[in-house]
Amino acid sequence: MPVSKASLADVSELNILVNSAYRGEESKKGWTTEADMISGIRIDEAMLTEYFNNELVAILKYTDENGLITGCVYLEVKGTKLYLGMFSVSPLLQGKGVGRTLLEAAEAYARQFNCHTITMTVISTRKELISWYERRGYSLTGEIQPFHDHGRFGEPKQVIELVVMEKTV
């Protein structure tokens, strides 16, 4: 199976993948780029390492036939909900089923930990991304959150709000 749990040994490769999927010129080759909305990097190796030190967090990785990580998703158990974030697919492979496979693995992970709801946040102006999640059973909750202003996830070039989406599994 191409989806498995990532480990500390994967930090460097995950860091490159996530940043290439969200920011910089490489991200513009895919449809999930945030490069025109947020400057800076999406994540660094120190933050990824912190995630692996949290027992409530798992990162699932999708590897190709050569063992390269081409997709990943951050999962955090929060009571009966599973928070899904840092959902990344290599820009050159977007639209080829990697994301769908990772979402299915996240749903299986949620059930394994008795989480009945998967929740996530999406930039409110990313209508095509919101629609993609809606086609996979996620719904807008009506909750809106501000973008993180501590600079750890990059610096917004405009006002950014996050919408909360959920799916019952």
User: What CA–CA distance (Å, rounded) separates 111 from 104?
Assistant: 11
Mean pLDDT by 10 residues, the chain (169 residues): 91 92 61 58 85 96 94 96 94 85 96 96 89 95 82 63 95
Residue by residue, DSSP assigns 113-142 as TT--EEEEEEETT-HHHHHHHHHTT-EEEE
* pLDDT confidence of residue 123: 87
* pLDDT confidence of residue 157: 58
Angle formed at CA 105 by CA 102 and CA 107, multiple of 5 degrees: 115
In this structure, are residues 42 and 22 in contact, taking their beta carbons and an 8 Å threshold?
yes
* pLDDT confidence of residue 94: 79
Report helix, strand or coil for 82. Answer: strand
Q: Quick one: CA torsion of 133, 169, 18, 95, rounded to 10 degrees?
A: -40
Q: Which domains are assigned to the chain?
A: 3-168 (3.40.630.30)
Q: What is the pTM of this model?
A: 0.86
Residue 33 phi/psi, 5° resolution? -60, 145
